[in-house]
Amino acid sequence: MNGRKLVTSLVVIMLLVGATPMGALAQGASDPQPVLLDQDTTHIADITVDGQQYSVYEHKNVFSWASGIDIYTNGERVTSESTAEAVLTALAQRRAVQDLGAEDISQLRTTSQNTSTAATNVSSTATAINETLVYMERMKTVRENGTTVYNASVEAAPQITEFNETARELHPQLRSFENASTAYRSNATALIDLLEQRENGTDVDPQRLYAQYAATLNAKNDVSDHLGFSSIAEPLGEVASTSETIAMNVSSVPERGNGTAQHFWRVHNESTVAANQTAALRLDDFEFDDVQDRAESLEEDWMEDWDERRSPASTVYQSIAAIVVGIAAVGGYIAWRRR
């Protein structure tokens, strides 16, 4: 067999093999558009994004570098990277959110209730702190026994200066924790409702479910930010200890000492409970970001597969051309050796 016949025979065999499908062609809302040497086409899903319906397919080609994912809408292949990313992100989120189940419902309910309870006590502490700060500021203008009640109190309990500084810095953090906890409880309750509907057989829109999951995760992370390295539990404990010392010492001030002490005893009691409860919250132990991680991983993998198949036809023909050139070179060499 001469070189030309060898080249022709090998190319014909390759094309015949490539033209024989290995699997049945799967159909979605939009028909796929296989290219030469595609061996298998799998319909991944149909999905609607921003009111537009898309069909996502995976194609397996004889040349692995021509395999990958195609997205079609209205019979046309999607070539816009931003559109492909939006479609595959939505699809990845829809797939990943299926992992949420009964165990997550239980953990959501427990953590949101515990957070809400802690937030109630934190709110009471914030109120006690604010009222004490306002009271002490007012005592700067009240004079008894030749001095202001404030100065007499500081003389009896020098820790008041430290309390003022710590309390003014802590108060907005406590209100922030309260707001974050309220948001987490609200979002967790909404997510639980959707998950229970799905568990009971109700058809729940996956994109709506993922959107609520993402909102709940963000709210949980906001709460966790108050419980991490700079946890509010530590300054709450400091305020509890300082206010106890002040309450015991300031009661010696004539006339208003007992009234002043009552304010600090209240701060001590409220902040002690709040410190213990916030320290006991272990939201980081609730591994709730797995769904988001899986969605991001799926989207990244699918985008790589889509990017590899941007120009499948030209990739295939270039590959065939390269093989033909290679075979021709081998055929030429063989012919030369036989002379």
Q: Per-10-residue mean pLDDT for the chain, 339 residues long? A: 50 46 48 66 88 90 76 90 94 90 90 93 97 96 92 96 95 96 96 94 91 93 84 93 96 92 97 94 79 91 85 54 59 59
| 103 shares its domain with 21 | no
Asked whether residue 178 is domain-assigned, the answer is yes
How far apart (Å, rounded) are the C-alpha atoms in residues 312 and 317?
9
Instruction: Note whether 139 and 263 are same-domain residues.
Output: yes
How many angstroms separate the Cα of 132 from the Cα of each of 108, 240, 265? 36, 13, 10
Same structural domain, 109 and 68: no
Domain shared by 136 and 74, yes or no: no
Give the pLDDT confidence of 58-75 residue by residue, as tens digits.
Answer: 888 777 666 788 899 988
**Residue 86 resides in a domain:** no
Total domain count, the chain: 2
Q: Are residues 289 and 316 in the same domain?
A: no
The answer as to whether 92 is a domain residue is no
CA distance 298 to 93: 8
Residue 89 lies in a domain: no
SS3 228: coil
Same-domain status, 228 and 158 = yes
Inside any domain, residue 153: yes
Tell me, yes or no, whether 303 lies in a domain.
no
**From its phi and psi, is residue 222 left (phi > 0), alpha (psi between -120 and 50) or beta?**
alpha
Contact at 8 Å (CB) between 109 and 185?
no
Beta-strand ranges (E) seen in 166-293 are none
Same domain, 121 and 252: yes
Same domain, yes or no: 150 and 211: yes
Half-sphere exposure of 71 (CA within 13 A, CB side): 27
195 and 249 in a single domain? The answer is yes
Residue 183 sits in the same domain as residue 108: yes
Residue 88 belongs to some domain of the structure: no
Range of the domain at 259: 97-294
Q: Kindly report, residue by residue over 97-139, the tens digit of the pLDDT.
A: 988 888 889 989 999 999 999 999 999 999 999 999 999 999 9
Question: Quick one: pLDDT at residue 128?
Answer: 97
Distance CA(209)–CA(211), nearest Å, equals: 5
Residues 29 and 157 in one domain: no
Does residue 27 sit in the same domain as residue 140? Answer: no
Residue 25: the pLDDT is: 47
DSSP notation for 97-148: GGG--HHHHHHHHHHHHHHHHHHHHHHHHHHHHHHHHHHHHHTTS-EETTEE
Give Cβ neighbours of residue 6 (< 8 Å, ≥ 6 apart).
327, 330, 331, 334
Residue 305 lies in a domain: no
